[in-house]
Structure 1
Amino acid sequence: MKILFLGDVMGRAGRAAISEHLPRLREAWRLDFVVVNGENATSGVGLSGDHAKVLLDAGADVITLGDHAFDQKDMLTFIANEPRIIRPLNFSKAAPGAGARVFKAPGGRKVLVAQVLGQVFMKRPFDDPFSALDALLRQYPLGGQISASLIDIHCEATSEKMGVGHFCDGRASIVVGTHTHVPTADVMILPGGTAYQSDAGMCGDYNSVIGMEKTEPMRRFVTGMPKGRFTPAMEEATLSGLYVETDDRTGKALRVQMVRQGGRLSPAGPE
């Protein structure tokens, strides 16, 4: 199976990059399944229902969220009626929606998609991601009723992301990090057959401070004093993510490659 994961969509520029590039990539790379992290797609904080529709209409099969899952209040009701949106598995038990679901892919294949939040350096205390994933992956082992599984680990610490990767090695097809908006250069297949990257990067304007227009973040770093609000940078965005090919029988990764399309970063992707 050919699977594409795209990192945090950042504001209007990120949405535009998805709308511009994803339909072309689905066709050119003959993608079977696409997952997009959309938790910063609306003004850099959260995801609205209208902007979720934009990402889904562009070709996303599933949208994952993150710690800003419900910053846009209409998502509290929208997610209850849109099964293609996944909130974190270890979020509040009172939160609407689901943290994991099995989705249909072409040819009768099934894909498990889940997201967990990390605990290290995060502003809020979330439930243990390891125990949440352990129960889930015991329920949906590779080579069973699912053809592939993707885990989005949304957290600050690369060490925690790597810990999750090794914890899931051989149990999930893909473990990919989000949240820091900076793509990492550690794309690999772990010894047990799980494709891994610490952070997929963002789909946003990289002439910025992690997707935000530079002036206000730099003022705060230099002076320690805020003056205005953070606003998403608006120049051309780079589409950033991870491309993985999996074995339908075992669910293990056969090939993995970073993806860069448009914008400022060097182009990369499957040939």
Structure 2
Amino acid sequence: MRMLFCGDVVGRSGREAVTSRIPVLRRRHGLDLVVVNGENAAAGFGITEAICREFFAAGIDAVTTGNHLFDKREIVATLASDPRLLRPANFPAGTPGSGAYAVPTGDGRRVVVVNLMARLFMDALDCPFAAAEAVLAEHRLGQNAAAILVDLHGEATSEKMAMGHHLDGRVSAVFGSHSHVPTADAQILPGGTGYQTDAGMCGDYDSVIGMKKEAAVARFVRKVPGERLSPAEGEGTLCGVFVETDDASGLALRVAPVRLGGRLAEAYPPD
């Protein structure tokens, strides 16, 4: 199975980078599953139902989120009605939506997408490790799940790496999101799980993590509140991670970074 996970989509530039390229990538590289983190898709803060529809129409199978999920309050209704939009599984009990979604494939297999949120330097949530265990008690790799892809939305690289090793051999891939900067550690862990600490962002990299650089730099220089941050509007880069899994075990065979368009050196999914 061939899957692509795209990191945080930031604003219109990020949306265009994703929606213009995903249909071509699916056809050209035979992708069975495409997942994007969409929590910054609506002008950099949150996501809307209309943006979700735009993503699904482009061939995206599931949308994960994180700490900016509820920046647009209208999304609560979408969470409750559309299982393709996920929220972190370790949000408190009673939060609308679900942290896992089993995507049906054309050949009858089930691919499970899991959304978790880390806690170091983040919101005080339930334990993501315990939440992962609860999901895996229901979905077992190589048994009732052909593949399991985990998006861990978090700040600390150490916490993301710990989750990768904790789930090694039990999921197909653990990919991090949230930092908006792609890490250079794409690998297959000893137990067979694909891993990258952060997939990076889909957006304009002539920016400060996707936001217009002038206002962002001024905040650091002057240390006083300035104008509201807004997404950079130059050409966006689709930034993510590709993973190919073994049909029998569901474990990773290949992992590779993907970077298309914009300012970063291009890297295509392997054929």
Give the alignment's TM-score, normalised by structure 1: 0.98
User: What amino acid does structure 2 have at the position aligned with 1:42?
Assistant: A
Pairs within 5 Å for 1:167-182: 167-182=166-181
Distance, in Å, in 2 between the alignment partners of 1:242 and 1:81 is 28
Distance, in Å, in 1 between the alignment partners of 2:254 and 2:239 is 17
Mapped contact 2:9–2:41 kept (Cα < 8 A): yes
Q: Is 1:266 paired with 2:258? A: no
Q: Is 1:191 paired with 2:196? A: no
Distance, in Å, in 2 between the alignment partners of 1:237 and 1:128 is 34
Distance, in Å, in 2 between the alignment partners of 1:106 and 1:244 is 19
Q: Which moved more, 1:156-165 or 1:86-95?
A: 86-95
Mapped contact 2:78–2:85 kept (Cα < 8 A): no
> Residue 143 of structure 2 corresponds to which residue in structure 1?
144
Matched residue SS, 1:86: coil
Distance, in Å, in 2 between the alignment partners of 1:199 and 1:120 is 15
1:30-83 Cα distance to aligned partner (Å, 9 max, x none): 111111110100010110111111111111000101111111111001121111
Pairs within 5 Å for 1:205-224: 205-224=204-223
Percent of aligned pairs with the same residue? 50
Deviation at 1:139, TM superposition (A): 2.3
Give the alignment's TM-score, normalised by structure 2: 0.98
> Residue 84 of structure 2 corresponds to which residue in structure 1?
84
Mapped contact 1:216–1:226 kept (Cα < 8 A): no
Deviation at 1:105, TM superposition (A): 1.3
Distance, in Å, in 2 between the alignment partners of 1:264 and 1:56 is 26
Distance, in Å, in 1 between the alignment partners of 2:59 and 2:13 is 17
Q: Is 1:239 paired with 2:234? A: no
Distance, in Å, in 2 between the alignment partners of 1:138 and 1:193 is 19
Matched residue SS, 1:211: coil
Paired positions, count: 270
Deviation at 1:101, TM superposition (A): 1.8
Pairs within 5 Å for 1:1-271: 1-122=1-122, 124-269=123-268, 270-271=270-271
5+ long unaligned stretches in structure 1: none
Deviation at 1:136, TM superposition (A): 1.5
User: What amino acid does structure 2 have at the position aligned with 1:102?
Assistant: A
Mapped contact 2:205–2:236 kept (Cα < 8 A): yes
User: What amino acid does structure 1 have at the position aligned with 2:68?
Assistant: H
1:8-27 Cα distance to aligned partner (Å, 9 max, x none): 00000001111211111111
Distance, in Å, in 2 between the alignment partners of 1:33 and 1:52 is 16
Deviation at 1:135, TM superposition (A): 2.0
User: What amino acid does structure 1 have at the position aligned with 2:155?
Assistant: E
Deviation at 1:138, TM superposition (A): 2.7
- The runs of at least 4 aligned residues of structure 1 exceeding 3 Å deviation read none
Q: Which moved more, 1:186-195 or 1:12-21?
A: 12-21
User: What amino acid does structure 1 have at the position aligned with 2:131?
Assistant: A
Mapped contact 2:8–2:180 kept (Cα < 8 A): yes
User: What amino acid does structure 2 have at the position aligned with 1:116?
Assistant: L
Alignment RMSD, CA only?
A: 0.8
User: What amino acid does structure 1 have at the position aligned with 2:112?
Assistant: L
Distance, in Å, in 1 between the alignment partners of 2:164 and 2:137 is 16
